[in-house]
Structure 1
Amino acid sequence: MTTSLAGPGLLAAAGPGLADHLAVHGPLPAVDVTALAEAVALTGRGGAAFPTAVKIRAVAAAAARSRRAPVVVADGGEGEPAALKDRVLLGCAPHLVLDGLTLVQRALGATSTVLAAAPDRLPAVARALAERGGAVRLHPVAPSFVAGEESALVAGIEGQPALPRWEHVPVRVRGVGGRPTLVLDVETLARLALLARGRPEAAAAALVTRRWEAAGVPRVDVVDTQPGTRLADLLPLGGVRAVLVGGYHGTWLPAAEARTLTVDPADLAAVGARLGAGVLAALPADRCGLLETARAVEHLARDPADQCGPCLDGLPRVAAALGVLAVPSPPPAGLLDDLARWSGPAAGRGACRHPDGTVRLVASALQVFADEVTAHRHGSCTATSWAPFLPVPGGAR
C-alpha cells in the first residue's frame, strides 16, 4: 500500500520544520480568530461539522461565568480506521496546528493547552514544539473509536478511562480539571492558522483520505479538496461497486450515484451522506459489500464504550447478524427483520454517537447491496475476491 500527499492548501508547506513553515506561510499575525471563523462560517473537521465560532464563544462565556481560565485541547486522535488526514497533517505541517492552538489560546486567555494524538504522531509535534517553545502538554490517545469523543478525550487527559460520560454537562462548561474546555480537531486549528493569514478559501476546503485500488494494488492518500470537487475527480470510479463516504460511521452510495456528486455538504446531505471523518473509499467491483460492512461492524462492536445498552447488547447482535448475512447461504428465517429491529433501538439512546453511526452504516449497506443480500440468500456471491479492502485494526473474521 502506498501513502502519499496530494494537492495544495493545508499540505502545501515545504516541510515540517519551523523555517520551512515561516518561508511558506509567514509569521502568525494577531487577529480576532473568533470573528474570522464566524465571517467564513468555519465548521469543525472532526466529523460533527459544528460552527467553530459558536464553540469558542460558548467556552469564553462559560469561563467568564465560572471565573476559571479555560483549557484548549487539540484533538488529533483520529480513531476512524479508514482515515489518515490528522496523522498526515501532524506529520507534514505541525506548525500550522500549533499556530491555530496559539490563536485560540490567546482568544480565550487559556492557561493550559493539550495536544492529543496517536503516540506515533507525538514525536513530530514534540520536535515542532522544541523549535518554537511554548507549554503544550502532549497526550497519547489510544486507538479507539470512542476515545475521540469530547468527554472521553477529556477523561483520558485526566488519567481516567477514555469513555464518554453520561452526565449532560458539556465539556465546554466542565472539562479538563473541571474547567471550561475547548476541543477542536487539529485540521480545524490548522485552517484557523490559514484564515489568520488572509486565506479565506481555507474555510470551505476539507482534507480527505482517499482509498481505492489500481491494478489490484491498494492505494491511499490525503488531499485538500474544495466543496465543488466531484467525487469522480477524486476517485477512479470505473470498475467500482460503491463508495463509502464518511468512514465507518458513514454511508455507502452506489457508484453510479457517486459519479454525480461533489463533496459539498449540501450535495452529500441530499443523498443522506456527509463527509464526516473525511473518508472516501471506492469499493472495487470484485468485492462483497456485505462482507466489507460485516468486517467493519465487527470492529465497531469490539470497540465500544461498554457502558450502555446499545453498545453492550445492540451492537454485538447487529454484528453477529451481519456476519451470518455475509455468508453465501440461506439465512435463518427473520434475520433481516431481526437486524432492522436490533438496529433501530440503538440509535439515539447511548451516551455517545457510536451506536448511531454504526446503524447508519448498516442501513446504507442493506440498501446499496440489496442485490448481494438476494444472491447470498440463494447461496451465491457476486464477488470474486474476498481480500479485505477496508482497513480493520487487529483484523476481522
Structure 2
Amino acid sequence: MTDVLSLLPPGRPGLLADVPPGACEDLAHYLATGGCAPLPAPGRLVDRIAAAGLRGRGGAGFPTAVKLRTVRDAPGGPPVVVANGEEGEPGSVKDRWLLWHRPHLVLDGLRLAAAMTGAARGYVYLSDDLAEHAVRQALAERKVPAGRQALALRQASAEWAPEVPVDVVRTERTYVAGEETAVVRRIDGGPALPTAKPPRPFESGVGGAPTLVANVETLARIAALHTHPESAAAIAGTHLVTLSGAGGTPALVEAPAGTHLKTLADLSGHGRARAVVLGGLFGGLYGAGWSDLRLDHEELAAAGGALGCGALHFLHPDDCPVAAATDAAGWLAAQSARQCGVCVSGTSALARALTAVARGEADGTTVANLERWSRQLPGRGACGLIDAAARMVATLLTHYPERIEAHRSSPCPPCTAAPPATHRYTVAVP
C-alpha cells in the first residue's frame, strides 16, 4: 500500500488536496474549487509562469515558459499540445495518480497550454487502464449538456480559453515510450520509439506541426497556478515525489522545494537509510552525505545527481549498493529500444560488468572498463536511457569504490544469496 502525504503548510494549494482517498474528482467538484477559471490574456499567464520559475516535471526540469513561447512562436501552422502521462520510470507514481484522481486538473492545464500556444488540438498520451478510463470519463463530463452548461457559466464573465478537441492515445508502458519524440511517433501511428534529433517536437511534431509535449504534473501545476495566482511561486516550487525502499512504506508526497531528503526519508520510515537513488534511475546513486541534500534542481545537479521525475529509492544498511546498481543497469538494458547500436551494446556491457562485480567474478579490467564506459557513453543515444545507465555506474564508482574493491576480493553475501531484484524500484499507484 502506498501512502499519500503532504508536507505543505496549512492553506497552501496542493495537487494532492481536496480529493477523498481513492476518489476521482468530477467536474462539479473541480469547478466548485475554482477550476476552469477564465483566461483574459494568455500572454500574461505565460509571464506569470516565467516569473514563478515553473520547470517541467517530466525529468529534465526545463523552464516551462520557454517551451510554451517556443511552440507559440514556431512556424508551421497551428500547434498541437500533448499531456504526457506515460510514466516509464518504475519508481514513480505521480503522473498516474494525477490521471486516476485529478483528470480535470490535467485537462484544465492542457486547455490553458493550448490557449497560450495557440494550439488547435490536444492529446492525452498514457499507458494505463485506470488512467485511460478516468480521462475518458472526464472528457465525457465536459461534453454532456450539464458539463457544457457549467463550463459556459464559468466563462461568462471574461474572454474564455476554449476547450480544444482532445484525443486519448494509448501506448505500451516502457522506459523510452515517454520520451518526447517517441510520444510524437506513437501519436502519428508509429511505434513508441525515440527518433533522431533534430527536429525536436517544437519544430516538427505531431503531423508535422509545432508540438508541446508536457508532463501531466507540469500541466496540473499550470492549472493550479492559474487558479491560485497569489500562490504562484509556491505552486511552481512544490514537487510530487515518490519514495520507496525495502525498509519503509512507499509514499507519494507533495513537498516544497528545499525540503531535506532526510525529512522525506523520516516521513516514510527510511530514516536509517545509508544511500539514495536520486530522481528515478536517471539521477544515479548517492551515498555518504545524502541526508544533507535538499529537494532542489541545482543542488542535486551540483552533487552529481538529478531531481529527474522526483522518485527517490532509499537503500538501508542491509542493502548492497552494488546490487542496487546492478539491478538498475540490468533493467535499463532490457528496456533499450534496440535502435541505437551504441545503446544496445553499451547498456548490455555495463549490466554484464556490474553483474560480474556483484558475483565476485570481475577480472582486473572490469572496473577500468566501467570507469571508461561511464565517461564515454552519455549523450550517444537517441534518448536518455544510456545516460541513465552510465550515470548509475559513475555514481556507484564515485560513492562506493571500497565496496567494489571488496566485491572483487570475495563474493558479497547479499548479492549472491538472491537473484537480481528486477522489480526493486517498482511502486504501486495509491
Greater CA deviation, 341-350 or 309-318?
341-350
Q: 2:146 maps to which residue?
A: none
Q: CA deviation at 1:25?
A: 3.5
Residue 248 of structure 1 aligns to a residue in which SS?
helix
Q: CA deviation at 1:382?
A: 6.5
Q: d(CA) in 2 for partners of 1:347 and 1:391?
A: 24
Give TM-score, length-normalised by structure 1. 0.91
Q: 1:319 maps to which residue?
A: 351
The match for 2:309 among 277, 282, 299 is 277
Q: 1:358 maps to which residue?
A: 389
Q: Percent identity?
A: 40
AA in 2 matched with 1:240: A
The answer to whether the 8 Å contact 1:285/1:383 transfers is no
The answer to whether the 8 Å contact 2:80/2:120 transfers is yes
Distance 1:376 1:110, change over 3 A: same
Residue 331 of structure 1 aligns to a residue in which SS?
coil
Q: 1:127 maps to which residue?
A: 137
Q: CA deviation at 1:263?
A: 0.5
Q: CA deviation at 1:55?
A: 0.7
Aligned length: 384
What runs of 5+ residues in structure 2 fail to find an aligned partner?
9-13, 144-162
Q: d(CA) in 2 for partners of 1:239 and 1:375?
A: 23
AA in 2 matched with 1:306: R
Answering whether residue 401 of structure 2 is matched by residue 370 of structure 1, we say yes
Greater CA deviation, 338-347 or 378-387?
378-387
Q: d(CA) in 1 for partners of 2:35 and 2:375?
A: 51
Measured against aligned partners, the alpha-carbon deviations of 1:304-354 in whole angstroms (never above 9, x if no partner) come to 121223212111111111111111x25222111122223332111222222
Distance 1:390 1:230, change over 3 A: farther
Measured against aligned partners, the alpha-carbon deviations of 1:213-241 in whole angstroms (never above 9, x if no partner) come to 44xxx521111111121111111354322
Q: CA deviation at 1:389?
A: 8.6
Q: d(CA) in 2 for partners of 1:348 and 1:228?
A: 29
Q: 1:85 maps to which residue?
A: 94
Q: CA deviation at 1:19?
A: 2.1
The answer to whether the 8 Å contact 2:373/2:390 transfers is no
Q: CA deviation at 1:383?
A: 3.9
Q: d(CA) in 2 for partners of 1:229 and 1:382?
A: 35
Distance 1:371 1:238, change over 3 A: farther
Q: 1:335 maps to which residue?
A: 366
Q: d(CA) in 2 for partners of 1:231 and 1:341?
A: 31
AA in 1 matched with 2:376: P
Distance 1:259 1:392, change over 3 A: closer
Distance 1:301 1:213, change over 3 A: closer
The answer to whether the 8 Å contact 1:116/1:140 transfers is yes
Answering whether residue 79 of structure 2 is matched by residue 70 of structure 1, we say yes
Measured against aligned partners, the alpha-carbon deviations of 1:51-108 in whole angstroms (never above 9, x if no partner) come to 111111111111xx32x11110010101111111101111121111111001011222
AA in 2 matched with 1:51: P
Answering whether residue 190 of structure 2 is matched by residue 181 of structure 1, we say no
Q: d(CA) in 1 for partners of 2:175 and 2:302?
A: 27
The answer to whether the 8 Å contact 1:299/1:392 transfers is no
Answering whether residue 74 of structure 2 is matched by residue 40 of structure 1, we say no
Q: CA deviation at 1:392?
A: 5.7
The answer to whether the 8 Å contact 2:328/2:389 transfers is no
The match for 1:150 among 165, 180, 192 is 180
Q: 1:391 maps to which residue?
A: 424
The answer to whether the 8 Å contact 1:286/1:382 transfers is no
What runs of 5+ residues in structure 1 fail to find an aligned partner?
none
Q: Where do residues 56-67 of structure 1 align in structure 2 (5 Å cutoff)? A: 56-62=68-74, 65-66=75-76
Residue 206 of structure 1 aligns to a residue in which SS?
strand
Q: 2:333 maps to which residue?
A: 301
Q: d(CA) in 2 for partners of 1:325 and 1:313?
A: 18
AA in 1 matched with 2:272: G
Residue 146 of structure 1 aligns to a residue in which SS?
coil
Residue 209 of structure 1 aligns to a residue in which SS?
strand
The answer to whether the 8 Å contact 2:86/2:125 transfers is yes
The answer to whether the 8 Å contact 1:82/1:390 transfers is no
The answer to whether the 8 Å contact 1:372/1:382 transfers is no
